Chains A and B, each alone.
Chain A
């Protein structure tokens, strides 16, 4: 019946692009879930405009979702895509450069009428679907609007609801193309609309199936593609985004410390999903407070922490700048506080929906005075779980603010996660200072410390230890206000040493890939893990002596990090900024570490990063 060939591929990258109102993020997420359930490894990259609805049909209004999935380890959403879905002219214009030569364009011709072409600023009379400019690609043209209309001819849905379901047609088509089951999506639609609005559920399912059957019936594809299940370590998996994993990490840490969690936050892209997520978990003892501004968000968390809760606040770079003074207060008060920075492209308002790693210096140094705190950075979406848990643990165990540096790329991106059992997670021990009931015990000294220089958590409601804390310099032990010069030196040293001592309570730095010593070490942090790992893997296959170490604990550095650096002739530090970790490494370890930088609001592509690293290695050889 069909002349379509079946093809087996190890990995595929698809990019869904359309107008902000076309539902591309949902289409991408549903394809992702189905693909995850099918058993592929995958990574995703949502790429959307800051405007909720930029003018329809224009290039600034284009929203895209990219995913790479495969039958082997997948660590990036893919540089270039194999398939580009273009729901309108603007989507094609904005994304064609990201399509591989010879790749497939699936174009909705309804989005290429005169009006749409003009909105996308194609010249009068120009139509890329007709003028041969796409000859290097496999072009599949279909009028999705018309096909949907026909599929729903009998439906009583209104025009708008019918129009809205066109993304399901494309999804169905791609399910056929990549041999994916429709059940997960059908279940999703029934769960979402089934009860309230069964007509919408039925309509969408009908259109989904129509898309699938269209692929089967009409011989438009030269091949149907199978991507086999990936060989992941055995276990039970789910798909998860960085912000979702972060929420779960916080809740898990709250349960494992048996403390209430207070979350003070002010909405900001791309951090708001953390607030939305935590607001749903009140039954775990989580209180969320949508504050009037960033400063109230962090200070309310400090107030809660003073009272014995885990105080957590979240934001992105601009909001973190506003919180700076209050974070300094928490450093002075020596109270637990977790500050989540989901970084975005800056400076100032910058590019809110685009990713960057340029707040590292802000995290380490960005407060007045000598104000040491802990800085952690997850390396991937799923790693946000473990590092969020670690942020809470270190903050509670060391009575110090912890900055958690995620970014838009890992916050919104997703990957399969082999989630832990709650029983496998370690308890976090918390000891509040005990009451002095008889009045004859030693007087309570709020700034007395243990060997690690950690002071007691002495919460209101505890008899006999009534005391005052504040932002003025503290006298050693008593915590009384002090302007004594030697005391200020002492307390500055103590706050620094207390932070540095945390190196004894974090894992040593592993070599993530490659030899323990050798010619080149690539050091990364945060969301660049996937690209660096992929590049180092490729370089090693080509016979280059290169290793990869990825920092998740940045301040303080792991104890053995300096030793690791000494074991290599050359250290290269790729970052999505203008050179920040590289400066920290240079100043801390006095080595000529070399930067590889990019600030385009996008993660490193594998090929560009490989090229840049090779270039940096060769500089050394030729110079």
Chain B
């Protein structure tokens, strides 16, 4: 008979009745701990939207786990009334991998920041994506080290003047979405703290994806890097500077939806919509197209096209593809082995060659 462990029995015995879940509200997911981020921190909105999204997952609270590393954002699990672990710097993806492989019945969320995931934990971050472990990673990107009080991060633009770079940093920054696509991430998306409705939508999309979901969230650090994302949040600049991606829809933006992005071969170009160029001429977003996703992820690295028009920053799902998840495959191997032969401990201990001493 196949080995059935205490965990197998536990999961069966306590399986949640998903048809009769309590009528959760966002508040049910708030823990009794005082939230200690700086007043005005973008983390508050993200916390709120995550809490608001939780009831819509269709899961029992007991089956949700938040795992974080170190940094301001990583205090997050303490504020969620779910299971949680505030671990060590950069390692949340590895801890989450172990947990998910051991307990596929759980919904596992990783909370991390640009320092946590793109420097000390960049290895685990990329490995998680290439393996495609079925967890959701929320990367709070504020382009600064907040908890250690204001050093430049691997996401800070070159030339950033910070406490540790008084003459401007000479580091070239990571582009988190391009990095994720480069690591063959199967779900790559971007949202921001100042657009809570879209943020919640993206959180739910992350959950629905089977595989590693990487959601970058632009998050304002009011103390050390205030306004880093002003271009995309300020009402005046926002329409020209940002574009919201929707599956099957043309890439249109601008205050009056009068601009678009067109593909000229493999070169994107910003165009004014009018008589000669209509929506039908534009790039139609296809989140299954990895080549286009790569172009989208690098828009802002090519600030100008031939006509001098600036590319907008894309928000939404850049890429979502189906690839079997690591945990599904690893567990399938164990299950296959369990059912393909008797697990006899005595046979194992005895080995192949024995002799008897009388």
Q: Chain A nearest CB: distance from B212 CB in Å?
A: 14
Q: Could you tell me if B3 and A283 are in contact, using CB atoms closer than 8 angstroms?
A: yes
Choose the segment among B60-68, B201-209, B284-292 that binds chain A (4+ C-beta atoms closer than 8 Å). B60-68
Q: B10 near A: Cβ within 8 Å?
A: yes
Judged by a CB distance under 8 angstroms, whether B350 is at the interface is yes
Chain A hits for B340, CB < 8 A: 283
Asked whether B91 lies within 8 Å of A304 as measured between CB atoms, the reply is no
**Can you name the residue of chain B whose Cβ is closest to the Cβ of A232?**
B357
Let me know if A480 and B83 touch, CB within 8 A: no
Given contacts A235-B356, A239-B353, contact A308 B127 (CB under 8 A): no
**Which B40-59 residues sit within 8 Å CB-CB of chain A?**
none
Interface residues on A, range: 35 or more
Q: How far is the CA of A237 from the CA of B2 in the complex (A)?
A: 28
B87 and A329 form a contact (CB under 8 A): yes
- Compute how far the CA of A309 lies from the CA of B91 in the bound complex, rounded to whole angstroms: 19
A481 to B79, CA, bound (A): 12
Contact of A291 with B94 at beta-carbon distance under 8 Å, contacts A284-B3, A306-B85, A461-B14 already known: yes
CA separation between A234 and B11, bound complex, in Å? 45
Q: Are B355 and A37 in contact, CB atoms less than 8 angstroms apart?
A: yes
Is A70 close to B, CB under 8 A?
no
Q: How far is the CA of A388 from the CA of B43 in the complex (A)?
A: 45
Q: A326-B91, A468-B78 are in contact. Are A238 and B350 (CB under 8 A)?
A: yes
Q: B327-340: contact bitstring with A at CB < 8 Å (1 yes, 0 no)?
A: 00011011001101
A293 at the interface (CB under 8 A from B): yes
Closest residue of chain B to A37, judged by CB? B355
On chain B, the residues within 8 Å of A469 by CB distance are 84-86
Q: Which residue of A lies closest to B334 (CB)?
A: A282
Contact with A along B157-176 (1 / 0, CB 8 A): 00000000000000000000
| Distance of A432 Cα from B14 Cα, bound (Å) | 13
B302 contacts partner chain A, Cβ-Cβ < 8 Å: no
Query: Which of B97-105, B147-155, B189-197, B266-274 contacts its partner?
Result: B97-105
Q: Is the interface of A mostly helix, strand, loop or mixed?
A: mixed
In the complex, are the beta carbons of B14 and A299 less than 8 A apart? Answer: no
Given A238-B350, A466-B61, A468-B85: A293 and B123 interface contact (C-beta under 8 Å): yes
Report A-chain residues with C-beta under 8 Å of the C-beta of B333. 282
- Give the CA-CA distance A430 to B100 in the complex, in Å: 21
Bound-complex Cα distance A36 to B352 (A):
13
The yes or no answer to B248 lying at the interface (CB within 8 A) is no
B99: A residues at CB distance < 8 A: 303-304, 306-307, 460
Residue of B nearest to A293 (CB): B123
Asked whether B101 lies within 8 Å of A289 as measured between CB atoms, the reply is yes
In chain A, what residue has the closest Cβ to B93? A296
In contact, A466 and B338 (Cβ under 8 angstroms): no
Contact with B along A272-310 (1 / 0, CB 8 A): 000000000111111101011101100111111111110
Nearest to B103 among chain A residues (CB) is: A307
Complexed CA–CA distance, A510 and B343 (Å): 36
Q: Is the CB of A466 within 8 A of B81?
A: yes
Contact A184 B349 (CB under 8 A): no
Q: Which residues of A contact B60 (CB under 8 A)?
A: 463
A307 to B221, CA, bound (A): 34
Distance of A435 Cα from B13 Cα, bound (Å) = 11
Instruction: Tell yes or no: B341 within 8 A of A by CB.
Output: yes
A39, B357: Cβ atoms closer than 8 Å: yes
CB distance from A444 to the nearest CB of B (A): 11
Which of chain A's residues has its CB closest to B339's CB? A283
Contact: A251 with B345, CB < 8 Å? yes
The CA of A307 and the CA of B341, in the complex, are separated in Å by 26
For residue B77, CB closer than 8 A to chain A, the reply is yes
- State how many angstroms separate the Cβ of B101 from the closest Cβ of chain A: 6
Q: Which of A357-365, A414-422, A559-567, A612-620 contacts B (4 or more CB under 8 A)?
A: A414-422
CB-based contact B3/A299 at 8 Å:
no
Contact, CB under 8 Å: A36 / B353:
yes
Inter-chain contact B7/A260, CB cutoff 8 Å: yes
Q: Which residues of A contact B356 (CB under 8 A)?
A: 235-237
Of B67, B83, B337, which is in contact with the most chain A CB atoms at under 10 Å from its CB? Answer: B83
Instruction: List B contacts of A326 (CB < 8 A).
Output: 88, 91
Interface contact A470-B97, CB-CB below 8 Å:
no
Knowing A251-B348, A292-B127, A460-B65, the reply to whether A283 touches B341 (Cβ < 8 A) is yes
> What residues on A are CB-neighbors of B87 within 8 Å?
299, 302, 329, 470-471
8 Å CB contact of B82 from A281, A430, A466: A466
Give 28 CB contacts A-B under 8 Å. Answer: A184-B353, A233-B357, A237-B355, A248-B348, A258-B5, A262-B102, A282-B338, A283-B337, A284-B343, A285-B338, A287-B102, A289-B97, A295-B91, A296-B97, A299-B88, A303-B94, A303-B100, A304-B101, A306-B99, A308-B7, A309-B7, A325-B88, A418-B357, A459-B10, A461-B11, A466-B62, A468-B85, A470-B78
5 new A-B contacts at CB < 8 Å, known A283-B338, A307-B106, A463-B61: A284-B348, A285-B5, A289-B97, A296-B91, A470-B87
Binding site for B on A (CB under 8 A): 33, 36-39, 184, 229, 231-240, 248, 251-252, 255, 257-260, 262, 264, 281-287, 289, 291-293, 295-296, 299-309, 311, 325-326, 329, 333, 418-422, 430, 432, 435, 459-464, 466-472, 480-481
